Structure 1
């Protein structure tokens, strides 16, 4: 049922970007849709729902040319057929860099680490035979009607021989822009629009034409791209037709969902780990770290279950080395400099260094006023030959500095040390909030508490006994905490002045975000 839109008081719209739309009664949760794009999974639902619907954020579009040679699959979907020699070479090159870097790191007992030999692991895994288990109840997706596109779960069970291109429009929490088919900004936004509208119609039972009666809260990463946020808000208000929208940061929503005022938020997701300090509803800009990795090392056995339609389930017992420690992370304060460095490198080869230098000077001027994540090139994410738990340090006007390896515990310490005052730091050490699905294994809470406590600076040792690591706030699934926090935030009285209305957006554009954004824009 379509909710009755709130009654509006007659009030003339302010001619300035700071002028809000007409005042309204408190927003009802049934009239607000919360969208958390994440990376691989979309979480979507009404703010009044207990849990969101979780949908694989993937789309398959039918190809006009049945020739499989031109078929495109984003590599997020790890089919064996998609593992080309080029990607394997890059993987092995990065893995060698990880191993070399890890040789310089000592264990907690002070001993040097020895990386397991990858050749021996590969030789062992090549000889592993599967244990045949029960018959799989999965079925290949039926495409007899030749649909133009498929969304979500259906894509995961699409037969490899089908004539579809597969796209994951989000990667590591950001828009997945690349130079291949479907990698342009326009194509990625079109894919997101199709996925979101399908989810709204199929799971929320809301016709798209009725979205004018609804508002939307969009969760965005802590290290974000302003241009991308602009495009996503435009998608919500102009193309989908929501009456109003708010973009809010994941870490802040995590504290709302957990019921804590201040915390060092560690978001361990499907493709990334993000660390950020939040105090009274605001995230500290300098404390944001982005680490897409899992803090595991050493050779170890792992059961891998493989289920495919129309055959038996298979369980492989393989051995893993340092593969799970690779990543290409960065921090909030270096994202813009990385983009500049990439642009300069391209300019030197194309003879337009002067234009790039002018762009760099303009960007540097903006940074002096404290921007929060300017537009970056599609392929400007910094990469790591050293792999692992690294942050990128790129001084303005220089080449990238050597990478500094750090574990998630060290990232927490560095993040907290970036806070301005000792009082704030003590708050952060006292409450470390872990959300996302990457640290749900037994012992994670005690392990992380021990690691951080053992590295506390001397002046904070007196709070060691009061430190707390929260991995299941209010006994909730940590994967749902951010979404739940946004749902709570949607109906607060203090949120009402943050809504960006459709009419305001069409009139003032991105200027209204500077006035209404709940974080430093």
Structure 2
């Protein structure tokens, strides 16, 4: 055995240790984990959740404060008082105790429901909200009617620039669609034993051609409009109802901006995302100060906010709104709620199929036991304003005496909305040539009184929601995704915006085919001479799936919407050209990137059945519950006779459920326009200790990532 060498020998051999016995690195050495006995309790206890810890911390803080106040009250020296003073103090204490609960019942919660045309805002303790137009007027070189040379609705002209006859002003395709709807209405009314004069249309046209307006001087007009007077110097912007009352000929000019269009952020009229959300914040801030009378921003830190969002929302939009409410408005807490769920809260229903017809958007969603059924969500881009524009086009087609009407002008827009509300109906008993009148009030001009006749236009315009291809859908998706990018997953880079199988099926049914698929279908039909009649529909849309649930025959398709860009088959049979056009409309599956390029336009009755079919998922009981609990809300539902007509349409499409189909209205005579806001206010009155509230401390730590944990649904 070799002995230990001395230090001298090691030094001679060059092996002597010369360091200071320190380790080679100061980095701590982590021992390997014993994988057999490995265990962790990460996120397995309630006290490891941030929301749970913050609630307990808040409860402990309140308990500590109460104990300190109690000890401080005991330590205060007792003051001798007379018996009367003691009774007065006791009465004051009881009054304070009675006022405290009343102040806590939603008086510190602001409820906001933002729509395309109106903003509804109020405290949760209010019975009804304040309604403010969702518009802002900014200084500009030209107003909106001067900037767009073409009037709205758009009229075609001759090659030399002269005006066309009213019957030809909107193109032959639109005129044929209008005439077909008029003919179908006559057949329908004749089947219902309702008498109609054979020359009613000619009577209306002849009357409107020869009528002339009556001039009324301004001092003789008791209902003259109040226009917004500009201060000196004129303000940079005007918000809400005063913005709509700024004269078109004002000096300086003002241009109207609508930040929300068709339920989306208005990316067509804005050039900057920052300016878009700035206008939204200015409109909301002005409403809080002037409608709720909370003029000091310092007091806003004591208030919470319930914000209503669409059922099918954009995550980027929700994140920006959360940042606005937390950073700019400094609310103490914020909670998001979906529109359909809020509608069931407002109506007091536990399960329902909610149909919300707004100004520019119609949303359909089935709610079951306090949760929106994800796959039943449908979002259609038409509403009450489309009905207004179509009504004006129909009246102009029949020689409306005020032929110069332009919905881009503010007074004409307000006039058209007033005419639609007062004239349009869906009661067949009201369809007859009738005389109406209106007053045209323009700033700086004498009032003109017009008299006109209307016939079937009053019912065909609201009926357009069942045949939305008659609407002008050319600019509804213009500018989409130019300012606000699509939300994507941070791991795979794919879009994570909410989707629904019902919406996807509708988009697939109306999507244009691939060029190769369209060519193959056309060649096959041309080879057969276009004579073959398929046993099944060439348009596998949502209705076909609904009918497959119980084997309902496809013969009952009365009133189904006609696909755009297709010829109407003649009664004698299907021509080769019509068959080729039908084949080119075959649907195909859509990738996520193409869905934004397709305008979701679909008949209201078929869309409702699509939503219910995806919510029931072949469950007979659920199908009967949803189809018997359809609730129609929104401003577009105020048309007289809509509920009965919708019931009739659904019964013709689903004869097996004719007895179960029922269209409900909000209970207690509640205005359908405020049902969603009312439901959100009811939620705001509930205990604020639930997990859906986002506090300032949480937001400062995690930001918008909290939405995945705080929303009442799968965000």
Q: 1:195 aligns with which of 278, 283, 305?
A: 283
> Where is the strand percentage greater, Structure 1 or Structure 2?
1
Alignment-derived partner of residue 708 in structure 2 = 514
Q: How far 1:229 sits from its partner (Å)?
A: 0.9
What displacement does 1:45 show?
Answer: 0.3
Shift of 1:175: 1.8
Call closer, same or farther: CA 1:83–1:267 in 2, change over 3 Å.
Answer: farther
Kept in 2: contact 1:267–1:436 (CA 8 A): yes
Task: Find out whether 1:255 has 2:332 as its counterpart.
Answer: no
- Shift of residue 100 of structure 1? 5.5
Output the CA distance in 2 between the equivalents of 1:94 and 1:16. 63
Q: 1:283 aligns with which of 349, 367, 372?
A: 372
> Per-residue displacement from partner, 1:280-313 (whole Å, max 9, x unpaired)?
1211222222231468998887957433345426
In structure 2, do the counterparts of structure 1 residues 435 and 370 end up closer, same or farther at CA, with 3 Å as the change threshold?
A: closer
Residue 129 of structure 1 pairs with residue 206 of structure 2 = no
Structure 1 residue 41, shift from structure 2 partner? 0.8
Equivalent residue runs for 1:352-391 within 5 Å: 366=496
* Equivalent of 2:610 in 385, 390, 414: 414
Q: 1: CA distance between counterparts of 2:311 and 2:150? A: 33
Distance 1:228 1:147 in 2: 29
User: What is the aligned counterpart of 2:641 among 426, 443, 451?
Assistant: 443
After TM superposition, the score normalised by the length of structure 2 is: 0.54
Shift in alpha-carbon separation, 1:237–1:317, aligned structure 2, 3 A: farther
Provide closer, same or farther for how the CA distance between residues 485 and 95 of structure 1 changes in structure 2, counting only shifts above 3 A: farther
Q: How does 1:76-475 map to 2 (within 5 A)?
A: 82=148, 84=150, 88=154, 96=173, 99=176, 129-130=212-213, 134-145=221-232, 146-162=234-250, 163-178=253-268, 180=269, 182-206=270-294, 207-291=296-380, 292-293=382-383, 303=436, 305=438, 306-309=440-443, 311-312=446-447, 314-317=449-452, 320=457, 325=464, 366=496, 395-397=589-591, 406-419=602-615, 420=617, 421-456=619-654, 458=656, 460=657, 464=659, 466-475=660-669
TM-score by length of structure 1 reads 0.72
Q: What SS does the corresponding residue of 2:607 show, helix, strand or coil?
A: helix
Q: Find the counterpart in structure 2 of residue 478 from structure 1.
A: 672
Paired residue secondary structure (1:246):
strand
Distance in 1, matches of 2:366 and 2:679, equals 16
Structure 1 residues 270 and 404, CA gap change in structure 2 (3 angstroms): closer
Q: Matched residue of 2:639: which SS? A: coil
More helix by share: 2
How much does 1:427 deviate?
1.4
Residue deviations 1:17-55 (CA, integer Å, cap 9, x gap): 766643568963001000011111111000000111111
Three-state SS of the structure 1 residue aligned to 2:636 is: coil
Q: Following the alignment from structure 2 to structure 1, what is the Cα–Cα distance between the partners of residues 175 and 609? A: 22
> Are the structure 2 counterparts of residues 271 and 496 from structure 1 closer, same or farther at C-alpha, using a change threshold of 3 Å?
same
Report the equivalent of 2:548. none
Identify the residue that residue 503 of structure 1 maps to in structure 2. 697
Counterparts of 2:586 and 2:120 in 1: how far apart (Å)? 30
In 2: Cα distance, 1:371 partner to 1:404 partner: 14
Measured at CA, do residues 395 and 39 of structure 1 come closer, stay the same or move farther in structure 2, by a change above 3 Å? same
The alignment status of 1:37 with 2:114, answered yes or no, reads yes
- Does the aligned pair in 2 maintain the 1:57–1:169 contact within 8 Å? yes
Q: Is the 8 A contact 1:51 1:484 kept in 2?
A: yes
Equivalent-residue separation in structure 2 for 1:237 and 1:468 (angstroms): 42
Note if contact 2:322-2:704 (Cα within 8 Å) is conserved in structure 1.
no
- Would you say the 8 A contact 1:263–1:279 is kept in 2? yes
RMSD: 4.8
Query: Compared with structure 1, are the counterparts of its residues 455 and 40 closer, same or farther at alpha carbon in structure 2 (3 Å cutoff)?
Result: same
Any conservation in 1 of the 2:634–2:673 contact (CA below 8 Å)? yes
Aligned to 2:131: 54
In structure 2, how many angstroms separate the alpha carbons of the residues matched to 1:368 and 1:150?
35
Cα displacement (A) at 1:482: 0.6
Q: Structure 1 stretch 470-479 or stretch 135-144: which is displaced more?
A: 135-144
- What's the secondary structure of 2:611's corresponding residue? helix
Question: Is contact 1:218-1:245 (8 Å) kept?
Answer: yes
Kindly provide the CA deviation profile for residues 375-409 of structure 1, in whole angstroms up to 9, marking residues without a partner as x: xxxxxx99x9669xxx9976234978999975322
**1:224·1:372 contact (CA, 8 Å) conserved in 2?**
no
Of 201-210 and 31-40, the range deviating more from structure 2: 201-210
Aligned counterparts of 1:370 and 1:37: Cα–Cα separation in 2: 23
SS of alignment partner, residue 474 of structure 1: coil
> Counterparts of 1:304 and 1:386 in 2: how far apart (Å)?
37
The alpha-carbon deviation at position 364 of structure 1 amounts to 5.2
Any unmatched runs of 5+ in structure 1?
1-12, 64-69, 74-78, 112-117, 331-337, 347-355, 374-380
Query: Alpha-carbon deviation of 1:422?
Result: 2.8
Aligned equivalents of 1:372 and 1:506: distance in 2?
37
Check conservation: 1:157, 1:309, Cα contact below 8 A.
no
Displacement of 1:255:
0.5
CA distance in 1, matches of 2:564, 2:449: 34
Contact 1:36 1:43 in 2 (8 A): yes
Cα distance in 2 between the residues matched to 1:93 and 1:226: 39
2:355–2:633 Cα contact (<8 Å) kept: yes
**What secondary structure sits across from 1:510 in the alignment?**
helix
Structure-2 separation of matches of 1:392 and 1:491 = 50
Structure with bigger gyration radius: 2
Aligned length: 457
What is the CA-CA distance between 1:493 and the residue it aligns to? 3.7
Q: Is the 8 A contact 1:275 1:289 kept in 2?
A: yes
Verify the 8 A CA contact 2:247 2:443 in the aligned structure 1.
no
| SS of the residue 2:249 aligns to | coil
